[in-house]
Amino acid sequence: MSLIRSLKLVLSPPHPAGRPFLAGAGVAALAGALSGGRLRWLRTGGVLFGGFCLYFFRDPERTAPSRPGAVVAPADGRIVSIMQVPPPPELGMGSEPRWRVAIFLSVLDVHVNRMPITATVTRIAYHEGQFLNASLDKASDENERNALALKLADGRDMAVVQIAGLIARRILCDAREGDDFITGERFGIIRFGSRTDLYLPPGVEPLVSVGQTMIGGESVIAQL
């Protein structure tokens, strides 16, 4: 990664979901500064927490590949699992196994979720669950999650699932059923460590391997 791109990544404007946290950090820092030194720790804590929030909620611009049929990563992070499993039952997409690519997001990764391909959201299903380590395989089934069923222009379907992690406690999804999205467009964010699973259409195989690092909205996972 070039120095310029690295600086743009770190200095990217924050996602709107981070504004309440940044405001709280600012209030704490200001209160500490006005305390005459009695609450110096509050000022320091506010500045440090604000800096962390600016980094965590950074929302860089991404350029999706122009290649027709390219399926891109729905999130930044490391691929921790690639296997054939049925899609989440709450989406009603049948029980036929299909390739699932699971991406683990650490607290250092960009947590904005992006649409893997141009498609229409046909169903959104929230499932309550646990908050296990998101890098574990069983997190796909047992953790709290928000699943989106997508319909492609050629009639095939796909699914992307936002999964809460060990310290993540809030899944935000801006998409609504019936919404149309283009490849790489933002549709949500997960706060403080998480996982995003991508279920490919039947017959489509992943072009990536476990351990690879993905850039959401840019890294190609499969080709239709």
Q: What angle do CA 91, 92, 96 make, to 5 degrees?
A: 110
d(CA 187, CA 169): 18
What is the torsional sign of CA 55, 56, 59, 65? positive
Q: What are phi and psi of 144, to 5 degrees?
A: -60, 135
The token pair that represents 77 in the structure block: 């992070």
Catalytic residue (choose from 81, 135, 140, 194)? 194
User: What DSSP line would sit under 123-165, residue for residue?
Assistant: EEEEE--B---TTSTTHHHHB-EEEEEEE-TTS-EEEEEEEE-
Query: Does residue 194 carry a catalytic annotation?
Result: yes
Q: By CB neighbour count within 10 A (0-12 exposed, 13-18 middle, 19+ buried), where does 95 fall?
A: exposed
State which H helix or E strand residue 221 sits in.
strand 220-223
The token pair that represents 223 in the structure block: 């080709």
**Residues designated as active site:** 194
